[in-house]
Chain A
Amino acid sequence: MMGTSDTYLIRPNHQEKFKPAVVKECIREVVRERLTGVRYDDEEVRQLSTTLADSIKDRVKKAGFDRYKLTVQVVIGEQRGQGVKMSTRCFWDADTDSYAEDVFITENLFCVVVVFGSYYY
């Protein structure tokens, strides 16, 4: 599954560490590209959310976090004045693991994307 890096490493060096700011940019770009001008439509959003999750996953993989397992979660909802709250907690190694998130809001939909990176020892 992992590339040809040294497998005895149990900590990423500074270059390889999961950088939330970089990942947040990746998310931002993909979401703005795909969701600007889109109206919430049941069928379309079903497709869109899965393709969005896959594109973001591929984009982050290209950013070069080789020893990291990635989990991307995309939540798209219709804006109708309802209240929504999203929380997340993780049980992991705080030295090596991290996450990045972005929220995109338009007049009739909102989209939350979270990418978690977990180091594979």
Chain B
Amino acid sequence: MDEFQAEDETTFVVEEVSKIIKESVEATIGGNTYQHNRVNQWTTNVVEQCLSQLSKLGKPFKYIVTCVIMQKNGAGLQTANACFWDNTTDGSCAVRWENKSMYCIVTVFGLAI
């Protein structure tokens, strides 16, 4: 008998990924204030944590994770994405997080193999 993979395992599930992103961001920069000499480490940690949680999901996907951390000083920031992929299986998820001193925007793209 052939075994078919449940639809859940081959499509990009936005809620699941969103949850992973929020947890990673909270854990890394949760209660902190913007510090120039630590930003480097923070972005790296957020991104690496997201990626390791995503790969643990065990789905047949390639992932791209981007994180932007910006100090709050009244300046504006705009992000946009354009993708050439397969709409039925691939997807993206963007999470905007902020506290009193900084903004953090994390985007995850999942591309099915």
- Chain A partners chain B: yes
Assess A75 versus B90: contact at CB under 8 Å? Given A90-B62, A91-B55, A97-B62: no
- CB of A53 within 8 A of CB of B80, answer yes
The A/B interface has a contact count, at CB < 8 Å, of 140
- CB of A57 within 8 A of CB of B83, answer yes
Q: How large is the interface on B (under 10, 10 to 19, 20 to 34, 35 or more residues)?
A: 35 or more
A121 to B86, CA, bound (A): 13
Assess A82 versus B39: contact at CB under 8 Å? Given A75-B68, A91-B63, A92-B63: no
- CB of B83 within 8 A of CB of A75, answer no
Count of chain A residues near B, Cβ 8 A: 43
Assess A69 versus B85: contact at CB under 8 Å? Given A46-B78, A53-B80, A78-B75: yes
Per-residue interface assignment for chain A, residues 93 to 110, with 1 indicating a CB less than 8 Å from any chain B CB and 0 otherwise: 100010000000000000
B40 part of interface (Cβ distance < 8 Å)? yes
A93 to B63, CA, bound (A): 10
- CB of B62 within 8 A of CB of A89, answer no
Assess A90 versus B83: contact at CB under 8 Å? Given A42-B76, A76-B77, A80-B75: no
B10 part of interface (Cβ distance < 8 Å)? no
